Chains A and B, each alone.
Chain A
Amino acid sequence: MICPFCQSERTTRVADFGTSQMVDVHQCDACHSYFEAIKWSGQRAALDVPAFFDERIPEP
Chain B
Amino acid sequence: MGQLSVPETTALPAECRESLRDLLIACADTKLLMGYHYGEWTFGTPTLEAAVANCSLAQGELGHVRLLHGILKAHCDVDPDYLVEQRPANQFASNPYLDQQLNDWPSVVAMTVVVDQAVTRVIHALRESSFAPMRSCAAKLLDEERYHLHHGQGWLRTLAKDQSQRSALEAALGRALSATLFWLRPEALGDEALVAAEVMGRSRAGIAQDLMNECGALAQSLALDLPKIDEEWQDAAPIDDVLYHLRGTKNAVFKQA
A residues in contact (CB < 8 Å) with B: 15-18, 20-21, 24, 39-40, 47-50, 52-53, 57-60
Contact = CB atoms under 8 A, between A and B. Distances in A.
Nearest to B198: A60
B125 A16 contact: no
A17 B56 contact: yes
A48 B143 contact: no
Given A18-B52, A59-B201, 15 more contacts: A15-B52, A16-B151, A16-B154, A21-B56, A21-B59, A39-B147, A49-B150, A50-B149, A52-B124, A53-B142, A57-B124, A57-B202, A59-B195, A59-B206, A60-B1
11 contacts: A15-B49, A16-B53, A16-B150, A18-B52, A47-B146, A47-B150, A48-B157, A52-B121, A57-B128, A59-B203, A60-B1
A21 B151 CA distance: 12
B228 to A, nearest CB: 23
Contacts of B146: 47, 49, 53
Contacts of B57: 17, 21
B127 A48 contact: no
Residue with the greatest number of chain B CB neighbours at <10 A, chosen from A24, A39, A47, A58: A47
B95 interface: no
Contacts of B85: none
Contacts of A21: 56-57, 59-60, 63, 144, 147
